[in-house]
Structure 1
Amino acid sequence: MPGFRVTERSVATNTLANLQLNLQKNQDLQNQLSSGKQITKASDSPGGAVIAMQTRSDMATLNQYSRNGDDGMGWLNQADTALTSASTQLNRARELVLTGLSSGSAGSSQAREAIALEVDNLRGSMLDLANTQYLDRPIFGGTTSGDIAFDTNGNYVGDTGSVNRTIGANASVRVDTDASSVFGSGTGNVFNTLQKIADDLRNNPAALQDDLADIDTAQKRVQTGLSGVGSRYNQVSQMQQAADNRVLDLRTQLSDVEDIDLPKTITELSLQQTAYQAALAATAKVIQPSLVDFLR
């Protein structure tokens, strides 16, 4: 069986190739240690790179859900504040109606005028609350591009659209509030009711009994609206918390795929450096002076 001829050149070439391989491994470990990542390009781990990209995509989606939740809670917070104030105003209006009823037609016109003026002020305050804005949009105006939901006469100038926010894969929540459900619609809205109370205080105190029933109806609408806002706020808050928790889980998974095990990498680098030093020493012994070197 014939043998293969081994030359000094082939030995040197193979030795240098192995030395270069050791040096490359040493550089890879140094790059991992300096970056803290075991995957910096797809070729480092094709499977791991696919998992990392999918995980980042899922995190981006969940972060968007969380931002949508923040915006939704901003809308709902404004609605809660406005409706709470509206409920307080209606309680005061009811007290004024009862005051007017207690004196009735026998009361002085000046006293009834003073009560009527306060009711007028309450009506103006209610209009301001009904035109509450969030990010320059009326929260009771649907999707209108205008600045207000109700004009000074108490007429609705918004639209019937709804503002929704997607807070989960299959979860969308309305974050504005339907004006008719909390303030009433047409001639029976709360602004007309307050206007009628003021007029009755001035001109027809006997009609205040019916006005009291209208105020109670308006108060129930506002309280129901408050309940609905609170329910939607809780839903958005819970979904946002779920999204944030899932993001934390995905970050842990991403770290498991991408990040290095620091103690392990330091140990591997130390071993690789030792191996490289040994390879250098072996190379120095393998590549000896040849006959040509002596003939020069």
Structure 2
Amino acid sequence: MSSSPRVTESSVRTRTIASLQRNLSRTQSAQDQISSGKQLRRPSDSPTGTVTALQLRGEVRANKKYSANADDAIGRLGTVQDSLRSVSDSLQRVRTLTLEAANAGGGSTPQANRARAEQVEEIKGLLVQYANTKYLDRPVFGGSTPDSTAYTTAGEYAGENAGQTLRAIGPNAKIRVDVRGPEVFGPEEVTVNGSTVPNEAQLFRVLDSLAAAMRDGNAEGINAGLSNLDKATEILNSTLSDVGARYNRVEQMKQSAEDRLMSVSSQLSDIEDVDLPKAIMELQLQQTSYQAALAATAKVIQPSLIDFLR
């Protein structure tokens, strides 16, 4: 024959107070969620949610870095692109002057050719300035040089050919953001039949030879200079096309990183952030429940004479 466990006043009080404490704890938790705006405040709130939130936070940081790298790449490549366009426009002017100098008509007088030679020299000085264009106080055509210039005033390359400047713009995606001077304006020397000789198609050397030929009235030198100028222009245009393609790719990857960042941030918000209307309703429910529990407790646990005598 089984007997029922004995229920004492003490056990009733203990259980009732414990129940009230649990109810009060839930009320406090609802208040904390509303005040902080977060439903994940500690790992114990949701272990699986915490793991997912940490992974998403890692993705947020990575995509922010990709976006920042893309901004830097756009700045560098945009500077290079603008400089190359200006150089291309100047070369068109040089070509016009060269064609005028090569003209056998009355417009090609020695005095006119000397004036054209002076214009070519002025344009060369301008192109050297473009060749020393800087981004964040570093020459964009200088490679890895620590110096402040890529070309001397005479048009000789003073940069470094070793290494490339890369930027990570996406998962397993890096892009080169520099252009070395010889890739744009031509190398100082070339190899012909196993021998190293000066490169006559190097842009600044072409401009020097053209100016000298115009001053001397050397028609053969002017024609040779025109041919070399076309070669140098072709190299420049090829490089400009490559830089433009890289610029477009960086813009696309930047947009992709920003879209992914928005998506991941939304997922993270769904996991971490509190649903405010739901939380307010939960708080009101817990407060009502707590008040009801207090009222019920007051009826169950009646004060005795001993309570007043304590």
TM-score by length of 1: 0.96
Quote how far apart the aligned CAs of 1:292 are: 2.5
| Alpha-carbon distance in 1 for matches of 2:83, 2:165 | 17
Q: 1:232 to 1:106 in 2, by over 3 A?
A: closer
Quote how far apart the aligned CAs of 1:263 are: 2.2
1:219 maps to 233
List alignment gaps of at least 5 residues for structure 2: 189-198
Matches within 5 A, 1:1-296: 1-103=2-104, 107-160=108-161, 161-186=163-188, 187-188=199-200, 189-206=202-219, 207-293=221-307
| Alpha-carbon distance in 2 for matches of 1:266, 1:200 | 87
User: Residue by residue, what CA displacement relative to the aligned partner does 1:193-249 show, whole Å, maximum 9, x if unpaired?
Assistant: 000000001114212111111111111111111111110001111111111100111
Paired letter, 1:198: A
Q: Secondary structure at the match of 1:5?
A: coil
| Alpha-carbon distance in 1 for matches of 2:5, 2:59 | 58
List alignment gaps of at least 5 residues for structure 1: none
Runs of 4+ in 1 over 3 A off after TM superposition: 103-108, 293-296
> Retained in 2: the 8 A contact 1:30–1:269?
yes
Quote how far apart the aligned CAs of 1:101 are: 0.9
Paired letter, 1:275: S
> Retained in 1: the 8 A contact 2:40–2:272?
yes
> Retained in 2: the 8 A contact 1:105–1:205?
no
> Retained in 2: the 8 A contact 1:100–1:205?
no
Q: 1:113 to 1:295 in 2, by over 3 A?
A: closer
> Retained in 2: the 8 A contact 1:104–1:205?
no
> Retained in 1: the 8 A contact 2:63–2:257?
yes
Pairs aligned (count)? 296
| Alpha-carbon distance in 1 for matches of 2:118, 2:91 | 15
> Retained in 1: the 8 A contact 2:100–2:108?
no
User: Residue by residue, what CA displacement relative to the aligned partner does 1:109-159 show, whole Å, maximum 9, x if unpaired?
Assistant: 322211111000011011111111100111111111111111122111111
| Alpha-carbon distance in 2 for matches of 1:182, 1:107 | 31
User: Residue by residue, what CA displacement relative to the aligned partner does 1:46-93 show, whole Å, maximum 9, x if unpaired?
Assistant: 111111111001110111011000000101000111000000110000
Paired letter, 2:59: D
Quote how far apart the aligned CAs of 1:185 are: 1.1
Q: 1:192 to 1:292 in 2, by over 3 A?
A: same
Q: 1:47 to 1:93 in 2, by over 3 A?
A: same
Q: Secondary structure at the match of 1:68?
A: helix
| Alpha-carbon distance in 1 for matches of 2:307, 2:181 | 99
Of Structure 1 and Structure 2, which has the larger fraction of its residues in helix? 1
| Alpha-carbon distance in 1 for matches of 2:108, 2:277 | 89
TM-score by length of 2: 0.91
Quote how far apart the aligned CAs of 1:108 are: 3.5
| Alpha-carbon distance in 1 for matches of 2:109, 2:269 | 79
> Retained in 2: the 8 A contact 1:25–1:272?
yes
| Alpha-carbon distance in 2 for matches of 1:176, 1:295 | 90
> Retained in 1: the 8 A contact 2:110–2:217?
no
